[in-house]
């Protein structure tokens, strides 16, 4: 019997054709993708968060139908179970250990409160790491209301801990699509409270405000967006002349691209593969499709454990980098019969086609580290002659008529976010960048930013990096006056021109 598709959900339906055109989601630029827990998939794409231990099926009553009160007597929140707050607080405290940059940002700015008067409405993954960000914003003087950008990624106990401290949170793991938009609506539409800043991940909150409450933009000083998808939606609005406030593109900051995508994947690729298949990497033949930041991270880790790695690439520059790093650059069709593992990291679609899947050897593992579930043509495997067998959570064996098995992980969705966790320290870098972008837009003098999409100033990228150096007891060298003059630099930075590629 063919195994029925699990909880895959369709893309969000927009109300009318005009809306649809305005917000249609662009495919990602090849090789770029948003990671952290901000996957650049739409909020309603399914994926299960490995970091949450609370099961959403343990209580059938919808959180919307429960009357819950926190210990301060407030009912302005909607979470799975407020009683889990203490457990969630411990999760947040563990995350704080590895996010010292945000903690030092709190200490530095505690006196001056750069976000005093800011009313931030946020839509991100609700995990222990984002909780540290939210509580930092509150410490800097902001009032926050928060909701989830993905229906599966919320850690229920963390949402409860935030609601207990008085942050109105509307989110739980396993929301329906109707719940998802209801939660966003409850965040934005609140008597006597109107947002003046938006922090978005994927652009759904921004879309809802445009559709339902356009008057809110009269008060909003700026939008900070952190994912590939959301940034594309902003550029579309900007092109159409419909963006009526300045927006900050955090996704393409150096501190996001070069760290989240490279180092995060270098550590989480092995974690995701080990947890699902317990594979031994030594001597395995692996092909990695795409040698952008994500591909580079994956290859470094695999090579270090003794795997024999080859690359596929469309870009001659990335291909030459792969050659210089000691990898063979091949076409997938040339090597597919010999491969033990196939990993996609392109941000493209149908990189692994049904034809490739038909030619794989028995026991080949196929997975995706790229931006959404389009890279492997999983849909082509849902055909009558093939049998799907769910082996364990996020692991399917697809059996061909002759008995051959191919192992597909997470139904072709993001391996590390679906099957393992993502290192907190890397998320600290991204979250600090988000906090500084909010401070910058909120405090910018009238006219500094027009109604357009901006990248964070390089000075801020450098500041984010400097906040993370004490973790390693790293000591920066300072330029002498003479050296600074010779280089034509300010002693305090920025140290590189804007076109510099780190």
Residue 175 annotated as lining a ligand binding site: no
CB-facing half-sphere around the CA of 292: CA atoms within 13 A:
24
Residue 256 annotated as lining a ligand binding site: yes
Phi and psi at residue 214, in whole multiples of 5°?
Answer: -60, -25
The rounded radius of gyration (Å) of the Cα atoms in the chain is 23
User: Is residue 222 helix, strand or coil?
Assistant: strand
Residue 93 annotated as lining a ligand binding site: no
Residue 284 annotated as lining a ligand binding site: no
Residue 66 annotated as lining a ligand binding site: no
Give Dmax over CA atoms of the chain in angstroms.
76
Tokens of 386: 């093939």
Residue 260 annotated as lining a ligand binding site: yes
Residue 76 annotated as lining a ligand binding site: no
Residue 58 annotated as lining a ligand binding site: no
Return d(Cα 494, Cα 482) in angstroms, integer: 17
Note every long-range contact of 352-356, with CB atoms under 8 Å and residues 24 or more positions apart, other chains counting: 352/289, 352/376, 352/377, 353/377, 353/380, 354/380, 354/381, 356/332
Distant-in-sequence, close-in-space partners of 478: CB < 8 Å, separation ≥ 6: 491
Residue 202 annotated as lining a ligand binding site: no
Residue 127 annotated as lining a ligand binding site: yes
Return d(Cα 141, Cα 115) in angstroms, integer: 5
Reference 50, options 201, 295, 271; nearest CA is 271
Lay out the sheet containing 387-392: strands in order across. Answer: 328-329, 308-312, 285-289, 341-344, 364-368, 405-409, 395-399, 387-392
Give the Å distances, CA to CA, from 153 to 42, 92, 128, 175. Answer: 12, 15, 11, 10
Q: Output the DSSP codes for 233-295.
A: HHHHHHHTT---S-EEE-TTSHHHIIIIITHHHHHHHHHHHHHHH----TT-EEEEE--SHHH
Residue 313 annotated as lining a ligand binding site: yes
Q: Which residues of 227-252 are buried (b: 16+ CB within 10 A; e: fewer)?
A: bbbbbbbbbbbeeeeebebbbbbbbe
Residues placed in the known binding site for substrate: 127, 201, 226, 256, 260
Residues placed in the known binding site: 127, 201, 226, 256, 260, 292-297, 313, 416
Residues placed in the known binding site for NAD(+): 292-297, 313, 416
């Amino acid at each position: 019997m063919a195994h029925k598709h699990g909880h895959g959900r369709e893309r969000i339906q927009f109300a009318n054709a005009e809306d649809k055109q305005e917000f249609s989601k662009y495919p990602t630029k090849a090789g770029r993708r948003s990671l952290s827990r901000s996957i650049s998939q739409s909020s309603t794409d399914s994926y299960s968060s490995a970091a949450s231990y609370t099961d959403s099926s343990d209580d059938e009553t919808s959180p919307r139908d429960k009357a819950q009160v926190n210990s301060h007597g407030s009912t302005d929140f909607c979470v799975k179970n407020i009683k889990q707050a203490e457990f969630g607080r411990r999760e947040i405290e563990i995350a704080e250990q590895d996010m010292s940059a945000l903690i030092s940002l709190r200490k530095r700015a505690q006196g001056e409160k750069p976000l005093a008067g800011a009313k931030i409405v946020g839509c991100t993954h609700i995990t222990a790491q984002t909780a540290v960000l939210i509580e930092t914003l509150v410490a800097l003087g902001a009032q926050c209301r928060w909701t989830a950008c993905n229906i599966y990624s919320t850690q229920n106990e963390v949402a409860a801990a935030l609601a207990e401290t008085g942050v109105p949170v509307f989110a739980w793991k396993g929301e329906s699509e109707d719940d998802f938009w209801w939660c966003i609506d409850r965040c934005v539409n609140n008597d006597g409270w109107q947002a003046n800043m938006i922090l978005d991940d994927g652009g759904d909150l921004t879309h809802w405000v445009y559709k339902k409450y356009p008057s809110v933009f009269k008060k909003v000083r700026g939008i900070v967006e952190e994912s590939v998808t959301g940034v594309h939606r902003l550029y579309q609005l900007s092109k159409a002349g419909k963006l009526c406030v300045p927006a900050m593109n955090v996704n393409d900051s150096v501190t996001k691209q070069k760290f989240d995508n490279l180092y995060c994947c270098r550590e989480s690729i092995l974690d995701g593969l080990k947890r699902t298949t317990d594979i031994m990497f030594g001597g395995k033949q692996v092909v990695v499709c795409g040698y952008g930041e994500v591909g580079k991270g994956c290859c470094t880790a695999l090579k270090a454990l003794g795997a024999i790695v080859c690359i596929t690439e469309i870009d001659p520059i990335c291909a030459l980098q792969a050659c210089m790093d000691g990898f063979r650059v091949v076409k997938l069709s040339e090597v597919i019969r010999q491969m033990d593992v196939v990993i996609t990291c392109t941000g493209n679609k149908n990189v692994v086609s049904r034809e490739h899947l038909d030619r794989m050897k028995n026991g080949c593992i196929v997975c995706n580290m790229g931006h959404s579930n389009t890279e492997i043509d999983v849909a082509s495997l849902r055909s009558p002659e093939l049998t799907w067998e769910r082996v364990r959570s996020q692991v399917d064996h697809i059996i061909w008529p002759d008995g051959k098995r191919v192992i597909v992980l997470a139904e072709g969705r993001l391996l590390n976010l679906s099957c393992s966790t993502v290192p907190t320290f890397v998320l600290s870098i991204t979250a600090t960048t988000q906090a500084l972008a909010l401070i910058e837009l909120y405090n910018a003098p009238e006219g500094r930013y027009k109604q357009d999409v901006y990248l964070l100033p390089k000075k801020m990228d450098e500041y984010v990096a400097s906040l993370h150096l004490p973790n390693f007891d790293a000591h920066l060298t300072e330029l002498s006056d003479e050296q600074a003059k010779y280089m034509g630099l300010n002693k305090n930075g920025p140290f590189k021109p804007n076109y510099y590629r780190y």
